[in-house]
Amino acid sequence: MDYSIQKFLWTLLGLFIVLNWGFLMGSTMRRIGARLAGRVGVPIYQPWIDMIKMISLRTYLSHGVLYYIGPVFRLVGGIGMFLFMPVLVGSEIWSNYSFSGDLILLLYFQSFGMLGMALGASESGSPNATIGISRGLAQFAAVEVPMTLAVIAIAIQHHTFSFSEILDAQQGGFMNWTLFTNPLASIAGMLAMLGAMSHSPFNLVKAPNEIPIGPPTEYHSSFLSVLRTNSAIIHVVEAALFMNLFFGGADTWFMYIIKTFFVYFISVFIGMVFPRFKIEDSVRWFLKWPTVIGIIAVLVAAYWK
Amino acid sequence: MVGPIYIIAIALGLAFFLGFFGKSLKDVSAFLMLAGLAFMTFISGQWLLAFFNGSVTTQEIFTAGFRPPYSINLRMGYEEAVMTTMINVIGFLGGVYMFKRLKEVGNSAMSVFIVLIMSLNVIVMTRDLFNLFVFVEIGSIATAGMIILEKNSKSLQAGLKYLMATGVISGLLLIGIIFAYYFAGSLNIDGIITAHVGVTKAGAVAVFLIIAVLVLELKPFPANGWGLDVYQSAKPGFGAIVSAATATAGLYVLYKVLPMGGETWYPYIVLIGLITFVGSNLVGTRQKDANRLLGYSSIGQIGLVMTVIGLQPILGSKFSFIAFALLLNHYLAKAGLFWLSGIIKKEKISDWYVLRKNKALLILFVIFIFALIGFPPFPSFFGKYELIMSLVSTENIWIAVLILLGSFAEGIYMFKWLGDVLKDEDQTEESLNISWNKFIPIVIVGVSLLAAGFYSTPYVEGAHYFYFIPLGFIVFMGLIDFLPAYVKNTLSIAGMTYYSYIIYPLVEGDLMRTIFFVIFMIGGILTLIVGYNKKGKREGFYPVALMMYAGLATILTSDSMFGFFFGWELMTAGSYFLIIRGKRSKPHAYSYMLFSVAGAYLILLGFAFAYTSAGTQDLIALKDIAVYTTLAYTLLAVGFMTKTASLGLHIWLPGAHGEAESDVSPMVSAILLKAGVFGLMLLFLYMGQQTGETLLFVLGWVGAFTALVGNLAAVFQEDAKRLLAYSSIGQLGYILFAIAMMTQLGWLAGFTYVINHFLFKAILFIVVGGIVVRTGTHNLYQMGGLLKKMPFSFVAVLIGIITLAGIPPLSGFAGKWLFYNAVVLKGWYIQGVIVFFAGSIAFMYAFKLIHSIFLGQLKDNHRNIKELSPAILIPAYILIGGIIYFSAYPQNVLEPIGNMLSAYFPATVDWSGDGLATTVLSYWNGNAVLIIIVTTFILVLAYLKLITGKTTKLEQFNIAYSAERPFRPETTHVSYNMFAGLNKAIGFLIAPGITRFWKNISDMVLDLAGFIRRLYSGNGQVYAVHIIIYIVIFYFISLG
Amino acid sequence: MEYIIITIGFALTIFGLYGILSQKNMIKIIIGFSLFTTGINIVMVAIGFIRGGTAPILDEAGKEIGKYVDPLPQALVLTSIVIGLGVTALMLAYVMKLYQDKKSLNINDYKDLKW
């Protein structure tokens, strides 16, 4: 079989696994959250049911072309992030399309889905959507600061932006993980992750009670199913990003699942404990401690180089 | 050949003769007066011609048959011929101008006028001190006589003050003369010079008195209140004579007698000239009265020429050209301005908007103002350039700095005035009453200014007649200004295309210049296409637009510093006029001009250092400047940064770009700003990393903060075009930061940003400008929901903002990728993070822009709005084609640039055949990314299509919104203060501190001027006291 | 002798100047000017004076060389007097016109033009 087709099929398989793991992880987290609140929670297969229900709805309402392709942008953004990052360490078949770009591409590709989604949601003319977007963009900008600092600290440390080289450097025992070789950068990065994951206290983008779930507020049926698909993928991929950066990556699918679960769990756990920030507080917060830690991380890395 | 003595004979005879004519023969006598003046002009003119051809040598005319010292002698040499011709020409033209008025007053006025002109002739020609005294006195009396032409209380007062002042001055002159005679035994200037009277103490006092008095005749600051009053209150027609002719004679006399005292006196003249030039122009900044303002300017300009006279020993062989260029420039421009004032008849400069009623006069006014400030192609430009070069290369840097300061102060009020004239609301119905006899002299001096500039060319190293070719075309476009816009647009495009074709060989082979060539010329043509959208005549647009492009082309193609500076100033002038065309652009164009002029002066100083170091005008002189290295490079960098609007020097940009016309904004934003970048790039390449280490480091930080502040300010704008304008500041900050890194990757990033910013900012400004016109509002919150009305515009803006935000797969990401690599390799981590933060912020205003215009709620008054015209969309889509190509094949663009740069920097980036870019840190395949994303997009879209059935189209307002259908789009369209939270968190970063800083500076200058001008109390006695004090201080400085 | 005259001349000049600068009445100021120029003229004549010299007229008596006083300063003084006359006349004319305008001879009343 032609190599490129082979590659394509392997990647598709990986995407399928990640999608289902995303669904499962989502429902698991919701159950954990419910237990903490003293409720029973949704059944573990709830996401799949939701998907089927949404796709099989018979009414499809559209605000226009942009509204229509907004979710497409969003999902391409999520899939793209998956495509441009290797899944397993040192594996050729699970390296996806990470040869066409590295960490920098990934950082900027986050915006692709955001932009498309923002445009689609805005076309509906719903103020709630736009308010959510404006909050999201502000928070995203602030989160990027410690994130960039962490990435640069890592790049200085390993002298590369390539995932495979960053991963290679972390192999051979957990003491080689960036978490231990560069703890400051890891702290800055993980704090940034809290914002990137958009869980409480940084969940004012969707803020269900104030601006009924924000940007996707006008989406329904198959459109919403695409968005849900994306959020399942993106949660795993975001977790995988931080796993690759700080926790040594994964050399098997098992490790992949375990590690992404725990990375994701951190953000959910903190979300359980803290109430929601206002947007200005959120921006200030990210520009304060995570940024300071990030700057120190960069300076330390530059010093040790 | 008619002897020069006949100038005196005819004038005296005529003046005497006219007295016998009765009132009934007024017409005859008026024509006789003109004929007499014409004949005087003819005499001096033929001598000038003869000297020019070299057919005569200097003539000494002895009176009474004796040789000096026993008789008075006159001299007619080349210099005298020039000066008398100048005086007589202005006398004749002035006579024509004042023809009716002189006729009204009567024969006596004509006699006085002729006598005045004659006395000035003699002052120039005489070689005898006492004769000089006599004719200075005759001149004063005649002047006092002419002042009363304007028969009102003010001119009477001015005349009396003038008489008092000149009375005191002439008394002192007499004492000086008699002592000079006592010590030298001769009244002949040459005799006194050879007698070296200055060596004895007492003789020096005599020389001192003569020189001091001649200086005082030139109305030095601050002992010149009486002179200002004359300028203010006399007939403007006569003011022209005083400013042009009397000053010419006075300056020549000073030049003539200075050798009497020997070398030691020259520095004092320089000092006096400088104080006058700077002080007079400084005080002028507060002036509101047009004629008095012209007085301040005249005195300032005379001070400048005086400085040059004092600099004669330093300037050496260049003295004649510089002094003559500056004198001639002042002479023509000031005569023209005074004559204009006589037509306008408005005291306050803010009332001069009536000038707009006559286009020819307006153009002449503009010519005079630009000539005075020293813009090309006027003689003062050449003169000042040479002057600064010579001063700096002879280590007289402070003099150069003061001259530039004085020029700047002059710019402050001249451009204020020009702005008032061009933009102030016309409040009168009355039309201008222009008679031919007043109009023609002004045209003659205006045209002479242009011609004088043209003929200055051979005297300046690095100047070529070639530079005048586009100017000729501009003049042509000005002459056909009455044609409809589309005709002129086509002609302009054709002209620019042809000129691009001509100059292309000059840039071919130099990739950096080729890139800027594409931006300047191709970009220029594209933005001109947008002009087809405009109806009517668009008066005055094409000459100035072409002037800007001509300047840009000259910058690009010149191989000398002079050529570069010529182009730079031309571009500044053109862009100023483009910017001020906007409805509310007056204050912004003004601040743009002030920053530009100041920046240009810094560049000039920098060039002068380079010239000093290398001894050539070739651009290569910028390499390894050996004198004042750091200072020179800093000056140049800051000078260029005024055009790139870097932080601190950016306050002019938002208003200037935001308020400009819809197709001017892309010109000045996407194209013009790159001129500054070109300058910086050129500078950095010549400077090199080693020399500029510290400077580059500082500039890196400046660039980073510029990016942050520019972008952050853009986020909080409600005005669509200002948002884009602030965005330009931010983007230019990136560029500055990138090239300040001085690595191959940094420069590649810089070039990528240059190209991208050109492409997307042109698209955004073209389209948004069109939308602003269509919707009739600048305010984003008053737009909304235009997507369905203007889908093509939307796509253009969408492509633009994706590129702007640096989102893959479009070419904006190429810049980001290069940036990350460059930052980490360079080690500018923290600055880099600030820049990346700025990038995230850019995303916010990009969204705000596209959302507020195209998405959200459509407003009721926009329901019938139409898509933009093809004239706007076609250039935009051509530019989009550029973005798509650059995005798909970044290698095709970046690889050659990288190769070019590897001549200057170590190569750090490699390209493989299939589009993969690699650095030691990172890799990126733009082509593959584009393919992957497009493929994924198609697949996902197909999937969504598959699972989605037939959709029902929703109406506007049909949204989930608290179970309401909000019928008022205004209340539902989220745009105003969209990022309130961010503002609350970090809005303090863009508090207008820098604007306040510059405001305080300008207040300080104006307060200082207001304080100093209280010297001019209006009391004639006080002015006499000033004169005495001036003499005493001068004495103690020079001899004490 | 000539030094005394020179001194007197200078004293007159200073007096005149003082008058010009201190008097408020414009007529008195003009008188100051007259004194000022007269003083200068006296100085000029005194400088050209040669002790025991004769008037510089070409006649039989004066043919002895060196016995003329210098004729030049005297010529200058003559010219200077004429010019002084012209200036004074013009000033008086100005003052007259000004007086017609404002009915005041005080120079402080004529400060409409300033700054």
What average pLDDT does this structure show over B671-696? 91
A125 touches chain B (CB under 8 A): yes
CB contact under 8 A, C76 and B1021: no
Q: Is the dihedral of CA B561, B563, B564, B568 positive or negative?
A: positive
User: Residue C20 sits in a domain of what CATH number?
Assistant: 1.10.287.3510
Q: Which chains touch B (3 or more CB pairs under 8 A)?
A: A, C
Q: Which two tokens stand for residue C54?
A: 């004769």
Residue-wise pLDDT tens digits, A35-58: 888 888 889 999 999 999 988 888
- Residue C52: pLDDT band with limits 50, 70, 90: low
Q: Per-residue pLDDT for C64 more than 60? A: no
Q: Which of residues 93-132 of B touch C (CB under 8 A)?
A: 130
B157 is a domain residue: no
C24 is a domain residue: yes
Between CA C19 and CA C29 the distance in angstroms is 6
Which residues on C lie below 8 Å from B164 (Cβ)? 20, 29, 33, 91
Pick from B144, B228, B292: CB nearest C90: B144
Helix axes B290-310, B266-284, angle to 10 degrees: 160
B1024 touches chain C (CB under 8 A): yes
Looking at B937, B952, B974, the residue that finishes a domain is B937
What average pLDDT does this structure show over B307-329? 94
Residue of B nearest to C76 (CA): B130
Residue-wise pLDDT tens digits, B82-126: 999 999 999 999 999 999 888 888 888 899 999 999 999 999 999
Pick from C72, C73, C107: CB nearest B1020: C107
B340 is a domain residue: no
**Residue C55: its pLDDT value, please?**
67
What average pLDDT does this structure show over B181-191? 85
**Residue B23: its pLDDT value, please?**
74
Between CA C98 and CA B172 the distance in angstroms is 27
Q: Per-residue pLDDT for B962 more than 80? A: no
Q: Per-residue pLDDT for B255 more than 80? A: yes
Q: Which two tokens stand for residue B586?
A: 């007056």
C33 Cα to chain B: minimum distance (Å): 7
Q: Per-residue pLDDT for B12 more than 70? A: yes
| pLDDT > 90: percent of chain C | 43
B326 is a domain residue: no
Between CA B17 and CA B15 the distance in angstroms is 5
Measure the CA dihedral B82/B86/B87/B92, to 10°.
Answer: 130
Q: Which of residues 161-200 of A touch B (CB under 8 A)?
A: 161-162
The CA-atom distances, in angstroms, between B885 and each of B215, B374, B756, C26, C57 are 68, 44, 12, 84, 102
B225 Cα to chain C: minimum distance (Å): 8
Which residues on A lie below 8 Å from B950 (Cβ)? 60
Residue of A nearest to B838 (CA): A141
**Residue A117: its pLDDT value, please?**
87
Residue-wise pLDDT tens digits, B32-90: 999 999 999 999 999 999 999 999 999 888 877 677 767 788 999 999 999 999 999 99
Which residues on B lie below 8 Å from C37 (Cβ)? 167, 171
Q: Which of residues 911-970 of B touch A (CB under 8 A)?
A: 916, 920-925, 928-929, 932-933, 936-937, 940-941, 943-944, 947-954, 956-957, 959-961, 969
List all residues 6 or more positions away from B502 whose beta carbon is below 8 Å from its beta carbon.
none
**Residue A220: its pLDDT value, please?**
84
Which residues on C lie below 8 Å from B175 (Cβ)? 13, 40, 43
**Worst-scoring range by mean pLDDT, A82-86, A203-207, B217-221, B993-997?**
A203-207
What average pLDDT does this structure show over A245-269? 90
CB contact under 8 A, B929 and A159: no
Measure the CA dihedral B765/B766/B771/B774, to 10°.
Answer: 130
CB contact under 8 A, C43 and B156: no
Pick from A84, A160, A281: CB nearest B921: A160
Give the count of alpha carbons within 13 A of C69, CB side only: 16
CB contact under 8 A, A115 and B952: no
Q: Which chains touch C (3 or more CB pairs under 8 A)?
A: B
Q: Per-residue pLDDT for B765 more than 90? A: yes
- Average pLDDT, rounded, for chain B: 90
Assign B717 to helix, strand or coil: coil
Q: Is the dihedral of CA B82, B85, B90, B93 positive or negative?
A: negative
Q: Considering only CA atoms, which of A132, A195, A119, A134 is closest in space to residue B979?
A: A134
Tally of domains in chain C: 1
What average pLDDT does this structure show over B969-996? 86
Which residues on A lie below 8 Å from B953 (Cβ)? 62, 64
Distance in Å from the first CA to the final CA of chain A: 46
A69 touches chain B (CB under 8 A): yes
Which residues on A lie below 8 Å from B972 (Cβ)? 125, 127
- Domain range for B744: 461-937
- Residue C60: pLDDT band with limits 50, 70, 90: low
DSSP assignment string, A201-226: TS-TTT-TTTSTTSGGGG--HHHHHH
**Residue B966: its pLDDT value, please?**
76
A109 touches chain B (CB under 8 A): yes
| pLDDT > 70: percent of chain B | 99
C114 is a domain residue: no
Stronger pLDDT, B979 or C2, i.e. the higher one? B979
Q: Which of residues 826-845 of B touch A (CB under 8 A)?
A: 827, 829-830, 832-833, 836-837, 840-841, 843-844
Local structure of residue A63 (DSSP, 8 states): S
Residue-wise pLDDT tens digits, B560-604: 999 999 999 999 999 999 999 988 899 999 999 999 999 999 999
Number of other CB atoms surrounding residue A169 within 10 Å? 18
Residue-wise pLDDT tens digits, B703-735: 999 999 999 999 999 999 999 999 999 999 999
Q: Per-residue pLDDT for B135 more than 90? A: yes
B46 touches chain A (CB under 8 A): no
B841 is a domain residue: yes
Peptide bond into A208 cis (omega under 30): no
CB contact under 8 A, B960 and A284: no
Residue-wise pLDDT tens digits, B352-402: 988 888 889 999 999 999 999 999 889 999 999 999 999 999 999 999 999
pTM: 0.93
B178 touches chain C (CB under 8 A): yes
Pick from B787, B837, B843: CB nearest A123: B787
CB contact under 8 A, A99 and B928: yes
Q: Which two tokens stand for residue B533?
A: 């959208």
Which residues on C lie below 8 Å from B229 (Cβ)? 113
Pick from A71, A123, A144: CB nearest B944: A71
Phi then psi for B456, rounded to 5 degrees?
-75, -20
Q: Considering only CA atoms, which of B777, B841, B815, B817 is closest in space to residue B976?
A: B777
Q: Could you tell me if B571 and B552 are in contact, meaning their C-beta atoms sit under 8 angstroms apart? A: yes
Q: Which two tokens stand for residue B87?
A: 């005086």
- Residue B262: pLDDT band with limits 50, 70, 90: confident
**Residue B26: its pLDDT value, please?**
82
- Domain range for C105: 2-56+63-109
Between CA B192 and CA B201 the distance in angstroms is 15
**Residue C50: its pLDDT value, please?**
67
**Residue C56: its pLDDT value, please?**
67
B141 touches chain C (CB under 8 A): yes
Between CA B731 and CA B646 the distance in angstroms is 10
Count B/C contacts: CB-CB distance under 8 Å.
121
Q: Could you tell me if B18 and B33 are in contact, meaning their C-beta atoms sit under 8 angstroms apart? A: yes
Q: Which of B168, B178, B1019 is the best residue to mutate to test the C interface, defined by the most C CB atoms within 10 Å of its own CB?
A: B178
Residue-wise pLDDT tens digits, B880-902: 999 999 988 888 888 899 999 98
Pick from B141, B175, B1018: CB nearest C90: B141
B892 touches chain C (CB under 8 A): no
Domain extents in chain A: 3-304
- Residue B11: pLDDT band with limits 50, 70, 90: very high
C96 Cα to chain B: minimum distance (Å): 10
Q: Per-residue pLDDT for C35 more than 60? A: yes
Pick from B850, B941, B950: CB nearest A72: B941
Which residues on C lie below 8 Å from B291 (Cβ)? none
Q: Per-residue pLDDT for A64 more than 90? A: no
B286 is a domain residue: no
Residue-wise pLDDT tens digits, B784-839: 889 889 999 999 999 999 999 888 888 888 888 898 889 988 889 999 999 989 98
Between CA B570 and CA B358 the distance in angstroms is 24
Which residues on B lie below 8 Å from A217 (Cβ)? 960
Enumerate the H helices of B827-949 as residue ranges. 829-854, 870-888, 890-901, 926-947
Which residues on C lie below 8 Å from B174 (Cβ)? 40, 44, 76, 80
Q: Which of residues 779-818 of B touch A (CB under 8 A)?
A: 785, 787-788, 798, 802, 805-808, 813, 816-817
**Residue B302: its pLDDT value, please?**
95
